[in-house]
Amino acid sequence: MLKPILILCAVLAACSGFGIGQATVRVEPANLPGPRPLPEQTGTAAIRDYLQSWQSFRSAFELNRSDLLDPAFVGTARDKLTETIQQQAALGIRTRYQDRAHDLQIVFYSPDGLSIELTDKVDYDVEVLDSDKVKTAQHVRERYIIVLTPAEVRWRVRVFQAVPD
């Protein structure tokens, strides 16, 4: 009797665990005060690249590998996240972030077209692991401010900062 219950628990845990399912994404109409109209294709690309940056962020923090940040992050954001990963590694802990929902809005497109700023009310789960043992798991809903700048073939995250509502 015990064995089937354990198996059921394992299956339920796996289904509700991290890495299963994709985050839901809601994009509000852009609220741009600047003089430069944002081409739809540019806005779409920026949001796509930002959402992909969560995958890099998640992998880098779970594996304590800052090199996984490189495709998606640049400048201050990359420096800060890299430093945090180094701190995690030094303490022997890892963190597992899983985004569940994004509520996005583009709020600034610079007149020169060289930066896009957006806000993201993001729901995510975070686990803190010490030697593969989960020390805590929490659900977080936080607003992030993101500044993206263009690189060779994609937008990269230059500022990635949670701000209290």
Partner 1 sequence: MRFRLKLLLGGLAAATIQLAFAESGSIGLPKTVQAGTAFSIQSRGSGKAILYIVGPGQVLERNVQLGETTPFPAGSLYNAGHYLVVLAIDLTTNTGSFDVVPADKPADLSFLAKPSRLPVGLHDGITGAVYVFDAYHNLITAPTPVSFELSTPSGTVQKRMVVTRYGAAWTEWDSTAQQGIDRFAARIGELSSTRIVGQVPGDPCGLTMSARQSGQQVHLTTEPVRDCSGNAVPDGTIVTFTETYSGAQSTVDVPLKRGIAEMQMPAHRGAMISVASGVVLGNQIRWEK
Q: Interface residues for partner 1 in 7-46 (CB under 8 A)?
A: 33-35
Other C-beta atoms closer than 10 Å to the C-beta of 141 total: 12
Judged by CB, which is closer to partner 1: 29, or 33? 33
Distance CA 126, CA 84 (A): 15
Q: Per rule CB under 8 A, is residue 54 in the interface with partner 1?
A: no
Distance CA 163, CA 62 (A): 23
Collapsed DSSP state (helix, strand, coil) of residue 162:
strand
Of positions 2, 15, 91, 153, contacts partner 1 by CB under 8 A: 91
Output phi, psi for 135, to 5 deg.
-85, -40
**Residue 122 buriedness (CB in 10 A; 0-12 / 13-18 / 19+):** buried
Of positions 107, 121, 123, 150, contacts partner 1 by CB under 8 A: 107
The rounded radius of gyration (Å) of the Cα atoms in the chain is 18
Q: Per rule CB under 8 A, is residue 4 in the interface with partner 1?
A: no
Distance CA 23, CA 1 (A): 36
Of positions 23, 30, 51, 93, contacts partner 1 by CB under 8 A: 93
Smallest separation (angstroms) from partner 1 to the CB of 80: 5
Smallest separation (angstroms) from partner 1 to the CB of 19: 18
Judged by CB, which is closer to partner 1: 49, or 160? 160
Per the structure block, which two tokens stand in for 80?
A: 């800060």
List interacting residues with partner 1 (CB under 8 A). Answer: 33-35, 57, 61, 76, 80-81, 83-84, 87-88, 91, 93, 95, 97, 107-108, 110-112, 114-115, 117, 119, 126, 128, 130, 135-136, 138, 140, 142, 145, 147, 159-164
